[in-house]
Chains A and B, each alone.
Chain A
Amino acid sequence: MPKIVYVATDGSQRVVDAVAGESVMMAATRHGVPGIVAECGGNASCATCHVYVRPESLPLVGEPNDTEEDLLDLAVTERREGSRLGCQIEMTEELDGLTVDIPPVQP
């Protein structure tokens, strides 16, 4: 089971066991990680599962597709390097230990 580390804005961490194949969003909502709202349930409609992927993991998670680009551009409060939608990152064993920062608000 690949682990995901969610870091809140106050620096506190939640470590969650994900199931390979589920998304960073799904793992967060199933375990009730605060700050990942996921209003649309993973349909790339809302951008309320925005996370910042740490630079060291960026090459592993790949690039956002066009729809995700639009969502990141238009729907999140502060887009930064490493901004991704949790619903679009599928967990694999290779991503074990993936660390993401949660934004202060999900608009």
Chain B
Amino acid sequence: MSGTLIVGASQSGIQMAASLREAGDEEPITLVGAEPHPPYQRPPLSKAFLAGKADLASLAFRTEAFYAEQKIDLVLGEQVVRLAPGLATTHSGRSLPFDRLALTVGARPRRLGVPGADLDGVHYLRDLDDALRLRGRLGAARHVVVVGGGFIGLEAAAVARSAGKSVTVVEAADRLIPRSVAPVVSEFYRRAHQRRGSDVRLGVGVTALTGEHGQVRAVELSDGTRVPADLVLAGVGIVPRTELAEQLGLHCAGGIVVDEFARTSEPDVVAAGDCTVAPHPRTRDGLVRLESVQNAIGQAKVAAATLLGRREPYSAVPWFWSDQYDLKLQIAGLSGGHDEHVLRGDPEAEKFSVLYYRGGSLIAVDAVNSTADYLTVRKVLDRGGEISPEQARDNEVPLKRLVSPPA
């Protein structure tokens, strides 16, 4: 038996290996990762680790002994470049045979496609090496420009500004975090970053980066302005790694398409994490890509069950968090398609939540420094029940007391 080959040794890959062992699978498990580092957590890279408040050791998912004890063959620093049925080949020519295949290959950062993007001082933030490079450069930097007002960009902007740098955030859309939160929350973050001294430019694109002696010096914007920069962080989204899936002829559409059992179009091959797109977890309408730790873990568990012949559909309520300064954003559900929202609390006081409704039903919450509201909505979405918009408007009553039981 060649056992299971898991390609990609990050959150999903580790979880899948651990889940297979926890379920009693005794076949060989090989976990192959392109990076040389033992598998590590990514979320701190743009937060505590970038700020120098977390060290490398604290990022490790497991002790080295764990992999040995669990008989998980960890192959690091090897990139799988060819996949054929039953056999993977790495860039150094190593052959890795398998009976069962799992793709947890993640994504790469989308690159800036403008002149000057290859100048020194232009950074991306996806893996540990990126974070180490960025952290190394941040100390001496004076003018930091963040291209892209999504979560990675804003989290890094908060770290840079807290370290006393001049920070400019440039977002091509007319509001921050446009893909993930509603306008009221976007506007809150614009003001919160401005209050802390960052310059936020919306509705402008980057046309070029200019430099001297190969080092970036300025960012030129579509409105004709020029922002000085000695460090540029581009956080402009990710591109799922689908090349291997395509070699196998698997169906891909902005990610490897999987069903609720984490099965690809080839039912023997599973995939999980940021490399996948799946039916909307609640409505089953359309394909969504959930870039979150929770999705990476949840899909991996389902995929492990699938590999062991069990069918456990993945239907968890999506959740997500982002730390910027002292602002803890917690999201439950997906607010896309909402037709009504209720604001609770006071954005000016930096403690509030926004509940989203569709056709009168609660579908999601964005909560800032309001864990109880986040949890209450998450619980309602998970276990049933409802909170009417009329009731939710009453700020004086804790949300958890407004929940009416499932019909």
Contact = CB atoms under 8 A, between A and B. Distances in A.
Contacts, number: 59
Most B C-beta atoms less than 10 A away, residue of A34, A37, A45: A45
A93 interface: no
Contacts of B330: 45
Contacts of B297: 37, 39
Contact-residue size bin, chain B (C-beta under 8 Å from the other chain): 20 to 34
Nearest to B72: A32
Contacts of A39: 293-294, 297
Interface residues of A, number: 22
Interface in B375-402: 375-376, 378-379, 382, 400
A31 to B, nearest CB: 6
A32 B293 CA distance: 18
Given A45-B319, A71-B375, A75-B379, A40 B293 contact: yes
Contacts of A45: 319, 321, 330, 371, 374
B43 A41 contact: yes
B129 interface: no
A106 to B, nearest CB: 11
Contacts of B294: 39-40, 46
Interface stretch (B59-67, B186-194, B243-251): B59-67
B375 A30 contact: no
Interface string B20-51: 00100000000000000000010110000000
A34 B19 CA distance: 9
A74 B319 contact: no
A43 B61 contact: no
A31 B378 CA distance: 29
A78 interface: no
A13 B331 CA distance: 36
A46 to B, nearest CB: 7
B375 A75 contact: yes
A30 B293 contact: no
Contacts of B382: 107
Interface in A39-89: 39-41, 43-46, 67, 70-71, 73-75
A29 B375 contact: no
Contacts of A22: 58
Contacts of B372: 70, 74
Contact of A31 (B22, B66, B375, B379): B66
Nearest to A34: B22
A30 B66 contact: yes
Given A29-B61, A29-B62, A74-B400, A41 B375 contact: no
B171 interface: no
B66 A32 contact: yes
A41 B41 contact: yes
A48 B347 CA distance: 29
Given A30-B62, A71-B375, 7 more contacts: A29-B61, A39-B293, A39-B297, A41-B41, A45-B374, A70-B371, A71-B371
Interface of B: 18, 22, 41, 43-44, 58, 60-63, 65-66, 69-70, 293-294, 297, 319, 321, 323, 328, 330, 371-372, 374-376, 378-379, 382, 400
29 contacts: A22-B58, A29-B62, A30-B62, A31-B62, A31-B63, A32-B69, A32-B70, A34-B22, A39-B293, A39-B294, A39-B297, A40-B294, A41-B43, A41-B293, A43-B43, A43-B328, A45-B319, A45-B330, A45-B371, A70-B371, A70-B372, A71-B371, A71-B375, A74-B372, A74-B376, A74-B379, A74-B400, A75-B379, A107-B382
